[in-house]
Chains A and B, each alone.
Chain A
Amino acid sequence: MSTQAQNRYKADLREIRFLLFEQFKLGSLLGQAPFDSWGTDEVNMVLDQAYKFVCDVLGPLNQSGDREGCRLENGQVHEPSGFKGAWDALYEAQYKTIATDPAHGGQGAPHMLQVITEEMITGANTAFSMYPGLAYGAAEVIQQFGTAAQKDRYLHAMMFGKYGGTMCLTEPHAGSDVGSSRSVAKKIGDGKYKITGTKIFISAGDHTMAENIVHLVLARVEGAPAGTKGLSLFIVPKFRVNDDGTVGARNDVNVGSIEHKMGINGSATCVLNFGENDDCIGELVGTTENMGMSQMFLLMNGARISVGVQGVAVASFAYLNALEYAKDRKQGAPMTSWKDPTVPRVAIIEHADVRRMLLEMKSKVEGIRALVMKLACHQDNVRFYRGKDDEKVAYHQGQVDLLVPLVKAYGSDQAFRVCELAIQTYGGAGYIKDYPVEQAARDAKVFSIYEGTNHIQAMDLVGRKLGQHGGKNLQAFVSDVATFVAQNDKHPVLGAAIKELGGAQEALAGMAMRLLMWFQTGRIALVPLAANRFLEMMSETAVAWLLLDGARIAVDALAALPAGEESARERAFYEGKKHAALFFARNVLPNVKKSAEILALEDQSPLDMPTDGFATV
């Protein structure tokens, strides 16, 4: 293998264009407020140019960044070689602000396009994407909740790469349990506070790519209530910012250490010490104390969607690389003459089990991408109908809220499984560092952990989202699926699969009622045992629905294609959409009913189990 930097990232632009234009009808939103400056040509050009950009600039640094990692020297973290150039190029190209309000210098693009450019950035180099990702998320919080002065001082710099940014929640004893945070803020007047405390696992916590880093720190103002209700959010820059906007003296924020991780090794994960010398000055985000959690939730909601996008991105990377390898690697004879040592060896894609793995990967990658796209489509409709139709805004926002935990948890869980299948497709070569899929698996594992573990997502779904607006969001979701089933269950090609979807939708609705019953009859202990499985049921139902909807469009398109070699490629593409949906409906979707049966048993053996019974060691 050459040691020279090589891009391994690839994207299936035909599939992406199918989702945008054929399935999710992006064209119907373009050219109208708030997307007036966007047309089909612009979208297509951005897809081409963004793809070229990530392949040329970010992809070649993916493996080298993983090998080199980050280092801490004299209190300063150094990111891997080449990242600084990539950072500058990314902000010069301005892809991070593609969907940002033009009032803040962005291009106001639809989220449907943004999730694709983000997928490309992340897929080409996940570790690198963490730095601009966190900077952007932190900037959005200031945009939403900051005072006019704070926006003036920080916003533009953070949106355009002059400053980086972080979100500082986790502490050594406060991980998923954010409310037990011990960082303290002491008021010193003029909206300023002295911050003391230690934060851990801070992604992009320090680097040399930007001239300053703005940390958003959750801390408790002295005397504030215990738990999450007493947390406030503070802007704590690495370097203090003078009134004229220039960067001033160093703030009392110090990197204690950096973690040595399984994956995303190019991303600096820092322990940050605030106020070791009692001189860490921060300012409250906005003007009201104890609003920290709700403010941070804006960032976390966006970050959770981003993690789902990371899942699609890395899964797609692993799948497309495995596919290329399977077409190239020759091994074994065809099944029909497997005992004959003289027949020519075939590419491994000719083997049934390799095809099974590839189709499972394809259906999952395209399924979770469709799920992400559905969420983004609802976000765009919220923007489109805002001020025009409150009822539609409420419906679309409800679906966004409902889908966030699905996109984050199912997207990240399946990403890791797709990477595992990709390694298996390569065989021994997949386990070797010369090939790119082992890194994909290592990078992808963290997706199910950070931004709220996937169990936290599942509890968010069953504990908060199902009951939101009196259960209306869930009802709308279930009824959307039911409508699709009713309209299509006699489809000549997909009918049987769509009937299976109908069964899954009923099982899902039934399970939601059972969860409600557990809440009402004081059997809450069962809820966390069922939550992950319920999230998976709902995700599999949603993914099957979206894949079958895509297949319906593909079947119509196939009928309209002219015969002959000229349309061979298009025919293969649509056949691929059809078979991926059928595979998922036949091999994965039946899990939904099965899961409902399992959960109906109300097994609570994990709770009945004595702790000492797990092992005698």
Chain B
Amino acid sequence: MKILVPLKRVADPDNANKVKIPASGATIETTGLEWKPNPFDEYALEAALRLTEDGKAPKVRAGEVVVVTFGPKETETTLRAALATGADRAIRVDAADDKLDGHLVARALKALVEREKPDLVLMGKQAVDGDSNQVGQILAEQLDYPMATFAATMKEEAGGLLVGREVDGGVITLRVKFPAVVTVDLRIVAPTSVYSMKTAPAFKYNDGVRFAALPAIMAAKKKPLAEVKLADLAADQGLRVTYHGFQAPPARKAGIKVKDVTDLVNRLKNEAKAL
């Protein structure tokens, strides 16, 4: 099975307070931020690795896991980390962070999918910076592929996957035929969430994503990492979303004490205009 895993780097969500907006409000200041892979994308990579192995040690890859990201040269750090974790090959689509939106990324990914011909595109349900939650859906639409979003479980079958999707009030199980697009939710990395056809039904993975072993980190530099120009994938680089300005959420104002109920009603009516 060949799986394409799109990855996005995001500002370290544990240090969200370091994200600053300059006085001009024209952009979000990104220099000096600690970057981390989007956690949902890491879960997608872990799921892709599980789908292409049998659970046994030492891990032997059956198939290929290709990771792709969009961004400047520095984003190769994210790709190298994915290679160290087990991906076989990486592609960086050279692009500036602020010249991308979900629709453009999906269009470029479509061209890449047509070139790479994976059986499956496996990606995070959303990136934790913009929380747009749309690239997977747009991509499936553009490709006219079957799609399952918010996957919590995946079981490989002949020519497809049985996907358990988390929805309000329960789990919906969908059968998707390859080639397909699947976006994953956080429970996809639970010990019994993903089974390839070769993995024993009783096998349990460690909870969470795997860690890169030191020898694999050293070997990651030798794995192929190709650079592709965004223009080669998307002739039209127009953006559907443009940003007009940024501002930090207003600081919370101190509350006031009201005299009595009449005062409260008056203020709700005349000041807050809530009544």
Contact residues of A with B, CB < 8 Å?
A: 13, 37, 39, 41-42, 44-46, 48-49, 52-53, 56-57, 85, 89, 92-95, 97-98, 107, 565-570
Contact = CB atoms under 8 A, between A and B. Distances in A.
A45 B80 contact: yes
B191 interface: no
A49, A89, A565: residue with the most chain B Cβ atoms closer than 10 Å: A49
A93 B212 contact: yes
A569 B18 CA distance: 9
**What 4 pairs between A and B have smallest CB-CB spacing?**
A569-B32, A94-B214, A566-B31, A49-B212
Nearest to B85: A49
A571 to B, nearest CB: 10
A89 B81 contact: no
Nearest to B17: A327
A95 B221 contact: no
B15 to A, nearest CB: 10
Nearest to B33: A569
Contacts of A39: 221
B20 A565 contact: yes
Interface string B43-87: 000000000000000000000000000000000010011001000
Contacts of A57: 211
Contacts of A45: 77, 80-81, 84, 212, 217, 220
Contacts of B167: none
Interface residues of B, number: 23
A46 B81 CA distance: 9
A107 B219 CA distance: 11
B169 to A, nearest CB: 26
Contacts of B23: 565
A49 B213 CA distance: 9
Given A41-B221, A45-B77, A95 B32 contact: no
Residue with the greatest number of chain A CB neighbours at <10 A, chosen from B18, B31, B214, B215? B214
A547 B179 CA distance: 58
The secondary-structure label for the interface of chain A is helix
A567 B20 CA distance: 12
Contacts of B18: 569
Contact of B215 (A13, A89, A107, A567): A107
B129 interface: no
A93 B211 CA distance: 7
B166 interface: no
B31 A49 contact: no
A287 B34 CA distance: 53
Interface string B193-218: 00000000000001010011111011
Given A49-B84, A52-B211, A44 B31 contact: no
Given A49-B84, A49-B211, A566-B29, A44 B77 contact: yes
B22 interface: yes
B252 to A, nearest CB: 12
A94 B206 CA distance: 17
B213 A93 contact: yes
A45 B211 CA distance: 12
A55 B197 CA distance: 33
A94 B32 contact: no
A94 B22 contact: no
A567 B32 CA distance: 8
Nearest to B208: A56
B208 A13 contact: no
A45 B84 CA distance: 9
A85 B220 CA distance: 26
A44 B23 CA distance: 33
Contacts of B84: 45, 49
18 contacts: A13-B34, A41-B80, A45-B217, A45-B220, A46-B214, A46-B217, A49-B81, A56-B211, A57-B211, A89-B206, A94-B215, A107-B214, A107-B215, A107-B218, A565-B20, A565-B29, A567-B31, A568-B32
Nearest to B57: A92
A390 B215 CA distance: 32
Nearest to A42: B218
Nearest to B80: A45
Contacts of B215: 94, 107
Nearest to A344: B254
A107 B217 CA distance: 10
A584 B22 CA distance: 34
A567 B22 CA distance: 12
A156 to B, nearest CB: 15
B213 A92 contact: yes
Interface string B78-104: 001100100000000000000000000
Contacts of A567: 31-32
A587 B53 CA distance: 59
Nearest to B215: A94
A37 B80 CA distance: 16
Contacts of A97: 214
